[in-house]
Amino acid sequence: MKVLVAMSGGVDSSVAAALLLEQGHHVVGVTMRLWGGESDTGCCSVSDVDDARRVAQQLGIDHLVFNFTEDFHRHVVDPYVADHARGVTPNPCIECNRHLKFDRLLERAEVLGFDAVATGHHARIEKVDGVWRLLRGADAAKDQSYVIHMLDQDALSRTLLPVGTLTKAEVRTHAARLGLRTAAKPDSQDVCFITSTKSPEGATGRSSFLRRRIELHPADVVDEAGERIGSVDAVELVTLGQRRGVAGGGGSKRFVVDVDVPRRRVVVGPESRLLADQEVGSSPTWSSGPFEGRVWVQCSAHGEPRAASIRAGGVDSGSVVVAWDEPQRRVSPGQSLVFYDREGDWVIGGATTATLTTTERR
């Protein structure tokens, strides 16, 4: 099989390429150049591209570089900025996987005559009764099925995840055995286009990045009675459930329970005000068709699954209602809700937590 392996410069994708080569496949490595700006974190730095190239040399395989910077700006960076401007908490890594690391890469692979693409994600793909299933990775602590939940039958049928059956320790052992330069390389944790260092003015990487692109506005912080108790420098940087950095936090244990960007207002209250009986997810995607029934729902990359039932939210199937078995802390608008079957590790689908209107928030 001719396989195009997405090599990010990390140990997982390095070992993914090595395993496929050992299995007898014709392997070509590719690194996607996504972010052309300043970067000192994530998987888009110049050193990462160099690491991927040199690992390919060690393995004796060809290495390509695809320039997808325009697609990355259109599908990841621009929406990230726009979401902040309207008070939504974006998930850029998921959008990068959705639009670049799978959609765009699969499209390019087909044009070039490859049978499949492969990545170093810690998840598994199996075919059961004629249906492709995306499953959690063998290493629960490193499982990445959440961030690639959007893969449908076509994508799953043309994707290989070679390290999904291994623990992280086993991946590093394999890399060390082969003498790969990435064997001890730390995992990337941050958004690749946000620098980890502060600006000369003292702004954080995210704040500095956004201030260069949109106007950030100060806002009043009020309690549930509407009494002003403080202020924040940028309402666009405040997230539902946040406690740090908002007036009235500290010993009072107040949390952000509402962010109203148009009115320049942040409402804080007790943690109990964050509990909800249900969430609404927009633009649902399904691995093998729409589903209604009991599921486990994961609300962050490594969050604890929560028991719930899901059903279609409207006649157009443009939304899904998640009814919790027990009241749960509300999920920030813009974050992904990922659905797993109640019997195992199968990813059924996912949706994006919908933004509530001001009336609905009240």
Q: Which residues are catalytic?
A: 96, 192
Burial class (CB in 10 A: 0-12, 13-18, 19+), 326: exposed
Q: CA 165 to CA 7: how far, in whole Å?
A: 18
Helices (H), 196-338: 205-211
Contact 278, 323 (CB under 8 A): yes
Which amino acid does the sequence have at 160?
Answer: L
Q: CA 6 to CA 13: how far, in whole Å?
A: 7
Residues in the chain: 362
Contact 292, 310 (CB under 8 A): yes
Tokens standing for 155?
């994508």
Q: CA 161 to CA 5: how far, in whole Å?
A: 10
> Which residue, 108, 109, 103, 148, is CA-closest to 125?
148
- Distance in angstroms between the alpha carbons of the first and the last residue of the chain: 56
Q: CA 260 to CA 314: how far, in whole Å?
A: 26
